[in-house]
Amino acid sequence: MSELHDLTALEQGDRIRAGDITPVELTEHYLERAHRLDDVGAFVHLGDDLARQRAFEIASIGPVGEGASPLAGVPTAIKDLNLTRGVPTEFGSPVFRGYVPEVSDAVTLALDEAGLVSLGKTSTPEFGSPCYTEPEGRPPAVTPWDRDRMAGGSSGGAAAAVAAGLVPVAQGSDGGGSIRIPASCCGIVGLKPTRGRISGFPMYGDPVGLATNGTLARTVADAAALLDVLAGRWQGDPSWAPEPSGTFLGATQREPGRLRIGALVEPIIADAQVDPEVRAAFDETTRMLADLGHSVTDVPVPISRDAVADFETCWEVLTALSTVPLDADQRAQVRPLTRWLGERGEARSGPEFGLAIGALRRHAAEALVALAPYDAVLTPTVATPPLPVGAIRNDADPAADFAAQKRFTPWTSAWNVTGMPSISLPLHQSANGLPIGMMLAARPAEEELLLSLSAQVERAHPWRGHTPPGW
């Protein structure tokens, strides 16, 4: 007989509605696993009492009505970057150790309104900046496929939690690949939606438009169902994506039709070496897509390398926004990478920052025009299988650290610049069993098509039964 955690999140929701299990039973199951099996650095805070209270409240309501989320009663977790009222939120930094917000953000409120049960906060690196999750004073987040190797970042804790079966779905955030990178490292699905799809209320902390929240799950349908929960405009949002034609979950149940897919393996933002196994996985994925009836065409890099300097200017200033309010004692506590990026950001003038934002938008426009003939674009997610913990981090030389991050992730940030929705799919493994993700992107606001295509790929090449050691 299968265990509860063998079920998908949607199947768990079905069991709750059928009366076969209760939210309380499901929450207890996952809390026990989280306490016993979190050797992957997934959680920085587990709120047992709050989770049990929330599960009891949902159970007391009884069967959920028509129109309710199919994930009502299902456990989840919230990234340590997202404000959660009354729950510690430390932004991955010792500077904020013990901080408890008085408000929740749009993501937390949406999860609560849909009836999901948060078990606690998942690990993230300091202020969500690097592509690995090794927060100061905390265990690193590691992939459950090899606990000596990184889970990726910055949603590494969330990805590790889902991949290890500690929660069935989790929210993450992504400003340069921070959902898709850990999804690839941990062998799960990671979806970054289009710019404006999910509200940034109440902080609206990214004036550039690179970052968005998104979903991590073991199946495309679960990722889509969680996107249905999180998506939507809030009054006061500066911009938003157009409404979909139906639910995102519904899109996974439709065939996408014959699509034109552009294939791109050349690194976009750095002169990176693509691991031979990643290249082989990419070639195999192009064949998979062709076998499904799609037209797959090699395309040139659609973004000028000049965009890298403009992206870095914006990234530095965004980091500075996190560090400027800190006093001298607090600044002494932040990591060398954070300090280096923040100081570079502070040194940028206002006009320089504004010019970089404008340049990025022009680079994005050029890329969108170049890719307009294609319904989707295929690249690898990262350039190598997950690296050993500490392989990128370099406190003695933050510039080298940042350069190594670009070589590891030479594709993901391009779709943050363009605002396109993008998803990493766990389609392959290396010879020694490490996950290798492949990434698909679609035109802005076309998540439905992207999810339809991704679900078709999953049906043709299912990965659900493939679970890591310790599952």
Q: What does the alpha-carbon distance between residue 82 and residue 200 come to, in Å, rounded to a whole number? A: 10
DSSP string, 451-462: HHHHHHHHHHS-
Tokens of 243: 């409404």
Question: What number of other Cβ atoms are within 10 A of residue 265's Cβ?
Answer: 16
CA distances from 186 to 118, 258, 425 (A): 21, 30, 11
Catalytic residues: 79, 154, 178
Please list the pLDDT of the chain residue by residue as tens digits (471 residues).
489 999 999 999 999 999 999 999 999 999 999 999 999 999 999 999 999 999 999 999 876 666 789 999 999 999 999 999 999 999 999 999 999 999 999 999 999 999 999 999 999 999 999 999 999 999 999 999 999 999 999 999 999 999 999 999 999 999 999 999 999 999 999 999 999 999 999 999 999 999 999 999 999 999 999 999 999 999 999 989 999 999 999 999 999 999 999 999 999 999 999 999 999 999 999 999 999 999 999 999 999 999 999 999 999 999 999 999 999 999 999 999 999 999 999 999 999 999 999 999 999 999 999 999 999 999 999 999 999 999 999 999 999 999 999 999 999 999 999 999 999 999 999 999 999 999 999 999 999 999 999 999 999 999 999 999 999
Q: What letter does residue 254 receive in the DSSP assignment?
A: S
Q: What does the alpha-carbon distance between residue 348 and residue 450 come to, in Å, rounded to a whole number? A: 37
Q: What does the alpha-carbon distance between residue 294 and residue 453 come to, in Å, rounded to a whole number? A: 10
Q: What does the alpha-carbon distance between residue 361 and residue 336 come to, in Å, rounded to a whole number? A: 30
Q: What letter does residue 80 receive in the DSSP assignment?
A: T
Domain boundaries, the chain: 16-460
Strand order of the β-sheet with 75-79 is 43-46, 117-122, 75-79
Confidence (pTM): 0.98
Domain 16-460 has CATH 3.90.1300.10: yes
